[in-house]
Structure 1
């Protein structure tokens, strides 16, 4: 089979790129089509894509596309529909905010989309806000309509969690199989007793201020790892026991996890969180919002705790409850292994094999019927 991979864009190495990397590992000869590649922003991570057959859409030539890619979103239909994928039997799109699932394929081609999420800026944001001009509102409505119709061209949807599967059913009226993304698992270690830990972006969407306020109010030490636009504001909120470390290389994380009591994930809207699985892979339990998709990852009262409301008081109660219990590091590691790379590959291979058989069946039947006539 001739296989092609399609990915939104390459401007950072995040969770979506981790999925793409494993897809390319499964299909090493497949070209990777993407809207644009920002080599400067990728920095050293660009080496991860050495030897790949990267093919960019016409959008790569737009002025300022790497820096102002959000401003060019009105042209998304043109980016993706201009790609010629007629030579391929199987197309796998890794799609999120930039709608790469919108590519056009032949009827004979099977298009499987690993949809990280329906774009939140289209489906979760209000239609009208005071700071948006009429043309921005029009573009949002236009792209939302286009996203829906483009989603109907996909043959099969896969996603990372039941939370996102429900959003796909709601917004696209399509079913989606759940195959959690591949996570690198450390596979050994035990939780420490020195501090609580947050690992992730420092942005308003992550509600890091909940973790900082809860630890400050509870007089508990907290180490914050990550970077983002909220750092300056969060540092002003933090008490004396909160420490900001910025971005930390992966090779240094094992020692940090070894001294952590638990990982805190305060975001109530998180879908799937790689950091949660990585922490459990080091034997560290997780305290997370019960409203988020993290509830599908941790086993409540066994590999962590869920707190019911996205408030400081609720998180403080969870921390107090956590310190009155004992959690098995081995149970955390065993749970993390269920999200390891080989598990992802095995599930995806089986899913695609089934999808190929189902996709070919009507074509064979149609061919037989035509020849019989």
Structure 2
């Protein structure tokens, strides 16, 4: 940081599962090594060494213990948890999350920058992994609670001084739902693993396409399997989830379910595939396409969400718009023809992937924070 070495705090929604948001948090921890982390729920066994090495502050009252046990059933308590955090000793607050962390209370003397992965999907009609809230006996309560949470969410979104969005898609959602402007800084992706991968082709006999990610209903992996069932092409699927048993029953002999793999095994399959299929609708960002790019592999994706601003048609991949078995069959045939006729340059795709590295994120985020901090000091001294 520049000019005055502000006291920094980081606020995140939860620390109970490790994913892309936590990798972004790790990069922030490296930028602000002295900053404590405030959060609602913390499960050390789910976190990385970098995160566990930090001072982590959680609610220590009955409400906090209740949230730790049944967080998804007590979303209505979350606003009061974050609004109760005392951040008065800090000059700069950086929040990172989707729903709650942006709501912390600050004073005009403090600067609050919110890195947002998406406005809460469950409040604004986007598909989510959990289906509990859609069961008939929850619906009346959920509708009532969600209405009040949307009102609160809009109010809370007026609190940060600046928003940073993780993609063009999220920038648009921030303006749509909050009427706030945001600056886009892509989250850090471990592209170095793909760029430097030196794997082998052990046990790989036929050319294949690849799908990878959690096997949840909204990921639309079933449509890809149904499409490949109708074609003479090989498909391999990496990942586990609630839909796994159903998808295994659906798959024909040309579709192989690989389950959960080590990072090395995962990268081996990406390295040796023809391309990656990404059928998710309205994805917030899209780490999977970036991982594919780091191996020089093109991506065929649904034209929506984060990938719409990341994939460059004819250069790093292609899009399809019809999210049906027939639509995917047609798109895969066109994509396959381009792949086999070498229409994509692996070296150029790899070079494109470099902009999503952790180093680039840290450089851009540091520059943004420094500029905001300078403006903040100027306004205080005016």
What TM-score results when the alignment is normalised by the length of structure 1?
0.91
2:195 corresponds to which residue?
187
2:224 aligned with 1:216? no
Mean Cα deviation higher: 206-215 or 46-55:
46-55
1:370 corresponds to which residue?
none
2:178 aligned with 1:165? no
| SS in structure 2 of the partner of residue 5 of structure 1 | strand
C-alpha deviation, 1:132, in angstroms? 3.4
Gaps of 5+ in 1: 366-373
C-alpha deviation, 1:184, in angstroms? 0.8
2:26 corresponds to which residue?
21
Residues 259-308 of structure 1, C-alpha deviation per residue, up to 9 Å, x if partnerless? 21111100121121111111110111111011232121121111111112
| SS in structure 2 of the partner of residue 309 of structure 1 | coil
Measure the CA separation in 1 of the matches of 2:165 and 2:224: 28
Measure the CA separation in 1 of the matches of 2:155 and 2:63: 26
1:134 corresponds to which residue?
140
Mean Cα deviation higher: 119-128 or 22-31:
119-128
Instruction: Report the CA distance shift for 1:229/1:55 in structure 2 as closer, same or farther (over 3 A).
Output: same
C-alpha deviation, 1:67, in angstroms? 4.4
Instruction: Report the CA distance shift for 1:106/1:80 in structure 2 as closer, same or farther (over 3 A).
Output: same
1:49 corresponds to which residue?
51
Equivalence map 1:38-187=2 (5 Å) = 38-40=43-45, 42=46, 45-58=47-60, 62-63=64-65, 65-97=67-99, 99-124=100-125, 130-185=136-191, 186-187=194-195
Contact map agreement 1:198 1:264 (CA 8 A) in 2:
yes
2:282 corresponds to which residue?
269
Contact map agreement 1:59 1:65 (CA 8 A) in 2:
no
Contact map agreement 1:32 1:53 (CA 8 A) in 2:
yes
Equivalence map 1:334-353=2 (5 Å) = 334-353=351-370
Contact map agreement 1:286 1:303 (CA 8 A) in 2:
yes
Measure the CA separation in 2 of the matches of 1:124 and 1:20: 26
Contact map agreement 2:126 2:282 (CA 8 A) in 1:
no
Measure the CA separation in 1 of the matches of 2:176 and 2:61: 30
Mean Cα deviation higher: 260-269 or 47-56:
47-56
2:313 corresponds to which residue?
300
Measure the CA separation in 2 of the matches of 1:277 and 1:60: 42
C-alpha deviation, 1:362, in angstroms? 2.2
Contact map agreement 1:188 1:283 (CA 8 A) in 2:
no
What TM-score results when the alignment is normalised by the length of structure 2?
0.89
C-alpha deviation, 1:189, in angstroms? 6.0
C-alpha deviation, 1:60, in angstroms? 7.8
Measure the CA separation in 1 of the matches of 2:72 and 2:267: 36
Instruction: Report the CA distance shift for 1:171/1:21 in structure 2 as closer, same or farther (over 3 A).
Output: same
2:376 aligned with 1:363? no
| SS in structure 1 of the partner of residue 315 of structure 2 | coil
Measure the CA separation in 2 of the matches of 1:323 and 1:87: 57
Measure the CA separation in 2 of the matches of 1:65 and 1:120: 20
Instruction: Report the CA distance shift for 1:177/1:39 in structure 2 as closer, same or farther (over 3 A).
Output: same
Measure the CA separation in 2 of the matches of 1:249 and 1:128: 34
Gaps of 5+ in 2: 1-5, 128-132
C-alpha deviation, 1:134, in angstroms? 3.0
C-alpha deviation, 1:226, in angstroms? 1.2
Instruction: Report the CA distance shift for 1:59/1:203 in structure 2 as closer, same or farther (over 3 A).
Output: farther
Instruction: Report the CA distance shift for 1:131/1:166 in structure 2 as closer, same or farther (over 3 A).
Output: farther
Let me know the Cα RMSD of the aligned residues.
2.2
Measure the CA separation in 1 of the matches of 2:157 and 2:120: 12
Measure the CA separation in 2 of the matches of 1:164 and 1:218: 35
1:368 corresponds to which residue?
none
| SS in structure 2 of the partner of residue 66 of structure 1 | helix
